[in-house]
Amino acid sequence: MSARIAFVGLGNMGGPMAANLVKAGFEVSGFDLAPASQEVAARNGVRVGATLAETVAGAETIMTMLPAGKQVLSVWTELASLVAAGTLLIDCSTIDVAGARKAHGLASDADCVSLDAPVSGGTVGAAAATLTFMVGGSEEVFARGAPILGRMGSRAIHCGDAGSGQAAKICNNMILGVTMAGVAEAFVLAEKLGLSHQALFDVTSTSSGQCWSITTNCPVPGPVPASPANKGYKPGFAAALMLKDLSLAQDAANSVGAVTPLGAQAMQLFRLFNSLGHGESDFSAIIKLWRGEAEGNRI
């Protein structure tokens, strides 16, 4: 492939994603403010630009993977004055639905086409090109972007019009936050009842309690060797990011009058966990709250 792609945001997620596009045969230029991210990307074959304008010059597709909506809208506002009409803009960040729709509007005003395409799969999925993309935008634009997304993930699901990818992402992660909190509670209860981790896992992983928080990201060491619990709770998916996504879900729920008491409770629990200094731990480490292992624990 000879298509030119510019990738803005070369951190823990964007860096491996851009590297996989290079492996797939695309010509990839990249931009990031962090020198360490620039160096890693360059070693992986990304042509690192000195400025945003230099990076996106001549690109047919521009992708962004940034920390929050503020950065996305700032970059997309600048892109609107730099890109040629017809350029495809894809944002893979996780941001609020309203912000995603504003980004689509910026692209439209510049006569460009756009997709919001947040991801699930974390840093492991980014490195292995097994991410799931939840995509918002027109069917026509999705058809154009899907072959590119397919080089970085195993699935790209068209969820609807502009902003629908972000809506799907925050709903999915609200489920994830709620289930992890519940799974962690259950494992601590099992410990106090004298039940081994393996016994509970063997039952729940094949019974009605089965969920991703058990079978893939089990919050205790042992039953799932690849889970962060076996690596000192190194993420994975950081607790700070889970708090961000749960907060986005609550903002969205409030904006449409949806009642989400479990999501709200999960957000409060992760807010407490983050406030105790565990934001950089995998979100499954929230089990420490119920064990009383988190400093300052007041549960």
Active site residue 169: yes
Which residues, 6+ apart, have CB-to-CB distance to 93 below 8 Å? 9, 64, 65, 66, 67, 68, 69, 71, 72, 118
Give dist(CA 184, CA 44) in Å, integer.
38
Which one of the listed residues 70, 102, 169, 288 is annotated catalytic? 169
What is the set of active-site residues? 169
